[in-house]
Structure 1
């Protein structure tokens, strides 16, 4: 039974649907009793049910958001949420605009994104034509262009409670890191001082709990030069791909060397190009894998090539059961039992991969400050979790293990 406990405890962290596999090094399970086998199957089934429940909750939340904001949000051809009545095009031959106009499309704007050398054309879709149908039509009329919806991205973490903390003294900062770090999120509150916050959405910047928590975690981990791109503001369609691309351009132009993103959405051509352009400028992008569970689709931007994908663990080094997945995984960092500040400056207990990403980003900034190969520096400070070496649950290991905990 001791063996059973050892195997069952981390099993939820090893679930990756479809097809749950239980590690069995050297045929160890061959000697486990039928009772133990049944118990392991029960744990496996429970983890599957939890993953399915997370996926259902995700869809309920998206459907509720859509019902409440049908004037600004609709589903694209893949069923993902996006800004209503608009498409984004890159690589569009402007000679095809009259053809698009004849079909009912309008050019809402043609923009060159600051800092990224990326041009994007916003197209208004024909009146009364569903976004999904408009996508298909625009692609037929302009086959050489990359055309996508302006997909929405969602924050991947939440506050639990104040946890009995009083005052900001409980959030002690680590050694000072002077490398510029950028944040794509909501704006931090006034008690979380950053170098600059700039808005890229209607009403932005507006102080948010999530943005405050992310910025405060960066500060508690030692980052001192932080800029924030608020991509939400008061816009029901905030967190869209174009706002995030513009935010990346601003942060790159301002000198950020690391950019952390604790948002999750579907793959999007404009944002993918913006991420690639950011990386070509020598900037490292860090992103959370999300909290929709292992049955959810791969998280973006964490799944884009070269992005440092981060998952979360609790104070015992166990993977969060709600942690999503990406097409690759680089590191783990604390994502539960950690504390940051909300928009009012109140210390708050946090949970989610959202809060692991900025802690990993701070360590990456410290590695850049030290010089040399940042990947080698980070790998040297990780604590290996799970099976020996890199694995799909914890990546290359745990960073910042003691960060942002109650003092």
Structure 2
């Protein structure tokens, strides 16, 4: 089994030229769709007229992304397949919403089989899992189900990937004040990720994948950043466990429902995947209950497809900056951008309790979520509070590189 953290292979690339680090995030790239396949072929067109250094770095990021996903698929062909858009998903089944009794005849006639139907706790969202006809692969079955009009929405059970990497162990370095600070924020923050190790103790944890909860470095780092930034109650939904198809859409929906039902007012998710109807509807249901979603824009560069769930309506999209407050060269993009937070030279604990340096938009996101939770606790409009707190970077006012400004600028960095 290969746990998928896309930026791990980028760790040795990130010491790119200062010029590229300043220029790359400024690139405005047309929407190239939500697919893995076909992205690289459009680069010549989407980056036409852009500085050559920027083009080179953008191409390298996408090549690394595509190679990593191809490798994941090759190693797990018994559990992962490509959907109709070329994105990776759990093999052998589809997810349907709004399936009626009248749909059953079409399901039976086409050779589909109902595996289960469940209503997600906390969200009221009913999802039916369909096994595929024996003679069709995932993409073919998805196209057929849509053509037949089964349910109101059909989707693959798409995979989502963690958006950050461990750079180096620095256990002898002094621990930043924010990592060891006393809890002061009473608003509960839920996180959807891997589980934590024993050195980072959440309020509660529950697994939503095979072998979950299972301690992970990424989940431990995200949780320790929340705790270090003052969040007293951190609840963890592990959507990975030991499952090679972990991080899938159904696991995310189930985990989100549990967090909502348990009282999390803010949910942070440092994962990135394609647009998916189940995740989109789950997030919309959580938002209707007053939960604020915070998500990373990913680390695939500005020419990558828009990041989800960061790009869903109403989700607070977060990017990362380095120690000089420059946008990360590898920062992805969303259809909107709200805030930036530290995403390089960030210090947090891994699953073994080792003090470690991390890089990626994954680690900017919990820092922004902690400030959002603090703003909610203060009462009034949290957006107004955060906008007053955010430090404006780049052009005056909100922009496509830093959003509405930098939050938690000194958080989780070595003093």
TM-score by shorter chain over 0.5: yes
**Which of 29, 33, 54 is 1:17 aligned to?**
29
Which residue is 1:159 aligned to?
166
Deviation at 1:8, TM superposition (A): 8.1
Deviation at 1:362, TM superposition (A): 0.1
- Secondary structure (helix, strand or coil) at the match of 1:273 reads helix
**Which of 124, 131, 134 is 2:131 aligned to?**
124
Which residue is 1:26 aligned to?
none
Deviations 1:144-183 (A, max 9, x none): 5200000000000000001353586763326610100000
Q: Distance in 2 between matches of 1:372 and 1:405?
A: 30
- Aligned residues of 2:320 and 2:341 also touching (Cα < 8 A): yes
Q: Distance in 2 between matches of 1:237 and 1:212?
A: 20
Give the TM-score taking structure 1 as reference length.
Answer: 0.90
Is residue 2:329 matched to residue 1:329? no
Deviations 1:11-33 (A, max 9, x none): 233123369xxxxxxxxxxxxxx
Which residue is 2:186 aligned to?
178
- Aligned residues of 2:192 and 2:256 also touching (Cα < 8 A): yes
Is residue 2:276 matched to residue 1:264? no
- Aligned residues of 2:103 and 2:150 also touching (Cα < 8 A): no
Deviations 1:201-235 (A, max 9, x none): 00000000000000000011111100000000000
Larger Rg: 1
Deviation at 1:139, TM superposition (A): 1.3
- Secondary structure (helix, strand or coil) at the match of 1:321 reads coil
Root-mean-square deviation over aligned CA pairs: 2.0
**Which of 368, 375, 392 is 1:367 aligned to?**
375
Give the TM-score taking structure 2 as reference length.
Answer: 0.89
Deviation at 1:78, TM superposition (A): 0.2
Which residue is 2:249 aligned to?
241
1:46 to 1:178, Cα distance in 2 relative to 1, 3 A: same
Which residue is 1:54 aligned to?
61
- Aligned residues of 2:183 and 2:232 also touching (Cα < 8 A): no
- Aligned residues of 1:139 and 1:145 also touching (Cα < 8 A): no
- Aligned residues of 2:310 and 2:316 also touching (Cα < 8 A): yes
Deviation at 1:315, TM superposition (A): 1.1
- Secondary structure (helix, strand or coil) at the match of 1:336 reads coil
**Which of 90, 97, 112 is 1:105 aligned to?**
112
**Which of 67, 85, 88 is 1:78 aligned to?**
85
- Aligned residues of 1:93 and 1:145 also touching (Cα < 8 A): no
Q: Distance in 1 between matches of 2:312 and 2:131?
A: 27
- Secondary structure (helix, strand or coil) at the match of 1:83 reads strand
Number of residues of Structure 1 aligned to a counterpart in Structure 2: 382
Deviations 1:287-342 (A, max 9, x none): 00000000100000000000000000011100000000000000000000110100
- Aligned residues of 1:168 and 1:346 also touching (Cα < 8 A): no
Deviations 1:242-284 (A, max 9, x none): 0000000000000000000000000000000000000000000
Q: Distance in 1 between matches of 2:49 and 2:147?
A: 50
Q: Distance in 2 between matches of 1:202 and 1:267?
A: 23
Deviation at 1:95, TM superposition (A): 2.1
